[in-house]
Amino acid sequence: MQKLSNATGALIIAIALYFTIFWGYDGLRTLTSPSYGLDEVWRAQFIFAIGSIFGLGPTGLIKLAAFFGMLKLAVACICGIHIVDRIMSMMKHGRANSDVLEGALILVVVISIASVGPASWANSTDLLREHTLQLLFAAFAAGLCIFERHHARRTENAEAKPAVASPEKN
C-alpha cells in the first residue's frame, strides 16, 4: 500500500507541476501583454463570451482578462507552493497539506468550465481539447487528494485502535 501512496503523491506533484508551468506562463503572458491577452483572439474567446453575457464594454473586457490572468497566476503559485510543501514533507517523512491545492483545483475546474462553453460554441476543437484536458487533470488530481486523505485516515485509525482491557482476576 506504501507504493500506491508514493505513486499517488508523484502523480499529484506531476499535475501540480503541469499547472505551475502552463498556467503560470499563461498568467504571466496575459498580465504582461499590453491588452491583457485580448490580442490573441483564439485564446481569449472565453473572455469575449463571458463579456458578451454580462454586456461588458472594452474596459470591462480588459478588467475581466486581467482578473482571469491573476487567477491563473494565483493557481500556478499555489501549485508551486504545494510542490515545495510535498517535497519537504517527503524529506521529513511527514504528510503534505493538500487543502490549499484542492482550493486551487476548484479554481481550475471553474475556469475550465467557463472556458469549455465558448470553445464548444465556436467549434474550436483545439481549444476545446486544451480546456477539457485541464479540467480532467484537475478532476483527477482532486480525486487523488481525496484518495490520499482517505488512506491517511484509515492508517491513523488503525494505529489509534485502543487495546482491549482484560478483566481483572480477584
Summarised one tens digit per residue, pLDDT across range 131-169 is: 889 899 999 998 888 888 887 677 666 666 655 555 665
Domain for residue 35, yes or no? Answer: yes
Residues 127, 45: contact at Cβ < 8 Å? yes
Domain for residue 123, yes or no? Answer: yes
Domain for residue 159, yes or no? Answer: no
Position 1 confidence tier, pLDDT thresholds 50, 70, 90: low
Domain for residue 34, yes or no? Answer: yes
User: Using H for helix, E for strand and C for coil, what is the string for the chain?
Assistant: CHHHHHHHHHHHHHHHHHHHHHHHHHHHHHHHCCCCCCCCCCCCHHHHHHHHHHCCCHHHHHHHHHHHHHHHHHHHHHHHHHHHHHHHHHHCCCCCCCHHHHHHHHHHHHHHHHHHHHHHHCCCHHHHHHHHHHHHHHHHHHHHHHHHHHHHHHHHHHHCCCCCCCCCCC
Q: What gap in Å lies between CA 62 and CA 13, rounded to an integer?
A: 33
User: For residue 124, what is its C-alpha cell?
Assistant: 474550436
Nearest to 10 by CA among 106, 105, 144: 144
Nearest to 114 by CA among 72, 58, 74, 143: 72
Summarised one tens digit per residue, pLDDT across range 13-67 is: 999 999 999 999 999 999 998 888 888 877 788 888 888 888 889 999 999 999 9
Domain for residue 160, yes or no? Answer: no
Domain for residue 43, yes or no? Answer: yes
pLDDT at 156: 67
Residues 78, 103: contact at Cβ < 8 Å? yes
Q: Which residue has the higher pLDDT, 165 or 120?
A: 120
Question: What's the domain count of the chain?
Answer: 1
Asked whether the predicted pLDDT for residue 120 surpasses 80, the reply is: no
Nearest to 32 by CA among 59, 70, 61, 58: 70
Asked whether the predicted pLDDT for residue 2 surpasses 80, the reply is: no
> 69 lies in which domain range?
2-149
Asked whether the predicted pLDDT for residue 111 surpasses 60, the reply is: yes
Domain for residue 19, yes or no? Answer: yes
Domain for residue 87, yes or no? Answer: yes
pTM (2 d.p.): 0.80
